[in-house]
Amino acid sequence: LGQLLVLKLGQKLNEGKTKQIIELADESGHVLVQSKDQITAGNAARKDQMEGKAAIANRTTSCVFKLLQEAGIKTAFVRQQSETAFVAARCEMIPIEWVCRRLATGSFLKRNPGVKEGYRFSPLKMEMFFKDDANNDPQWSEEQLLEKKFCLAGLTIGRCEVDIMNRTTVAIFEILERAWATQNCTLVDMKIEFGVNVSSKEIVLADVIDNDSWRLWPAGDRGQQKDKQVYRDLKEVTPEAMQMVKKNFEWVSERVKLLLEPQASGRVVVLMGSISDLAHCEKIRKACGSYGIPCVLRVTSAHKGPDETLRIKAEYEGDGVATVFVAVAGRSNGLGPVMSGNTAYPVINCPPITPDWGAQDVWSSLRMPSGLGCSTVLSPDAAAQFAAQIFGLSDHLLWAKLRASMLNTWVSLKQADQKLQACSL
């Protein structure tokens, strides 16, 4: 509450069943999203105050948005403000619920009789629902959304915007699915909403992601579900039953914090055959930094000082830190192959190719003796990215960055094309 007093609140912009949206007098373009202390189901037909629920919802939303934000997904979330409130970009909300499913359950089974609960969707199943309480949020097709030509904060929701939301929903699901897997929890399905940031006119993930937004089955077992379904399924709302729902909520909100914890931390060791390769190696280090991977640079030549090369290698073996070696050697690359033949850690060749002899030199990185498994990439960025992909196998936070970056590249291409088409009209 102390922190809250520091904020100068403007007028209340909106109030729904679970939260209030309040203007911030001193931060234009931002709002305070304040959770209300109650749980609703069946469109508020069932309403019970649940002490502490808002705080738990706050924690869930902040952790999930933080995870996505750090991965590089564009969200409205700015910062946690108090136990029950966070500051977000002011958005005009697109009145669509995007639903993404891995396993069939709930309303999908009713709409698709014959499909058994637990049917696995691969690729993920996408659905959208128009937010219209009076008509029970009807399911919509893409065509229905396109024909509506919604205009929010000056942005018309057309083909490009719909594709971006669809793709972003899939990326968000995959990131959260991977994160929950670290807790042995299956993310069964999820619903999210997008808004248009009124300042940037960009589509961003908005509203909240909390217990109401997903189904989670610990160990893939519906019987142990920890989501709001438990509340919906209650036959009678007794204090004991509500206590159980709250305990489930707490179970999730305790675990959601663990989603932000790195699983393992690795390191990249770049070996260069000569100090003249330093500029190339600095680019690798910089790119590793963008993934948050520590990177050390060493100079050693496998041709001129093989004893030193193996001694340096030994420094990074056996201390329990997962290591990827990157070998940078011009002309004849002996460094990568010698490393690869003498360590079980992965080795990536990244030779600094020159215009004169590059076409010949590259063969020293490609044509290997049998038994060696080093890879070769030519750009420093690619070397760092490949190392990140290796660490991403066991680090969901790193994997999330790679996944978000793939999405953002796709979105940039889409937007560049749209801009070009608009200009040539």
Ligand X SMILES: *[C@@H]1O[C@H](CO)[C@@H](O)[C@H](O)[C@H]1NC(C)=O
Q: Contact positions toward ligand X, by CB under 6 A?
A: 53, 55-60, 62-63, 74, 76, 78, 80, 83, 89, 126-128, 142, 166, 183-184, 197, 199-200, 204, 210-212, 226-228, 248-253
Residue closest to 327 by CA, chosen among 392, 376, 370 = 376
57 binds, among ligand ATP, ligand X, none (CB under 5 to 8 A by kind): ligand X
Q: What residues have CB less than 8 Å from 363, skipping those under 6 apart?
A: none
Stretch that binds ligand ATP, among 85-93, 327-335, 384-392, 412-420 (CB under 6 A): 85-93
| Smallest gap from residue 380 Cβ to ligand X (A) | 29
- Three-state DSSP state, 290: helix
Are 237 and 46 in contact by the 8 Å Cβ rule? The answer is: yes
131 binds ligand ATP (CB under 6 A): yes
286 binds ligand ATP (CB under 6 A): no
Query: The tokens of 57 are what?
Result: 């919802």
What does the angle CA 281 – CA 286 – CA 291 come to, to the nearest 5 degrees?
Answer: 125
16 binds, among ligand ATP, ligand X, none (CB under 5 to 8 A by kind): ligand ATP
| Smallest gap from residue 164 Cβ to ligand X (A) | 11
Interface residue with ligand ATP among 91, 171, 245, 269 (CB under 6 A) is 91
Q: Report the alpha-carbon distance of residue 360 to residue 362 in Å, rounded.
A: 6
19 binds ligand ATP (CB under 6 A): yes
Are 316 and 275 in contact by the 8 Å Cβ rule? The answer is: no
Burial class (CB in 10 A: 0-12, 13-18, 19+), 272: buried
Q: What residues have CB less than 8 Å from 277, skipping those under 6 apart?
A: 328, 329, 330, 352
Pairing of strands 85-89, 30-35: antiparallel
Q: Which is nearer to ligand X, 57 or 347 (CB)?
A: 57
Q: Report the alpha-carbon distance of residue 354 to residue 254 in Å, rounded.
A: 54
Stretch that binds ligand ATP, among 12-20, 63-71, 288-296, 402-410 (CB under 6 A): 12-20
Interface residue with ligand ATP among 207, 210, 227, 395 (CB under 6 A) is 207
| Smallest gap from residue 152 Cβ to ligand ATP (A) | 11
Residue closest to 199 by CA, chosen among 336, 82, 89 = 89
Q: Which is nearer to ligand X, 41 or 312 (CB)?
A: 41
Residues 64-83 that bind ligand ATP (CB under 6 A): 76
55 binds, among ligand ATP, ligand X, none (CB under 5 to 8 A by kind): ligand X
What is the chain's percent helix, strand, coil content, to nearest 5?
A: 40, 25, 35
247 binds ligand ATP (CB under 6 A): no
Count of other CB atoms within 10 angstroms of residue 127: 18
Q: Which is nearer to ligand X, 159 or 311 (CB)?
A: 159
21 binds, among ligand ATP, ligand X, none (CB under 5 to 8 A by kind): ligand ATP
Q: Report the alpha-carbon distance of residue 153 to residue 170 in Å, rounded.
A: 24
Return the residue nearest ligand ATP (CB atom): 16
Q: Report the alpha-carbon distance of residue 60 to residue 71 in Å, rounded.
A: 17
Stretch that binds ligand ATP, among 10-18, 158-166, 285-293, 303-311 (CB under 6 A): 10-18
17 binds ligand ATP (CB under 6 A): yes
- Three-state DSSP state, 238: coil
Which parts of this chain interact with ligand ATP (CB under 6 A)? 14, 16-19, 21, 31, 33, 76, 88, 90-91, 93, 131, 195, 206-207
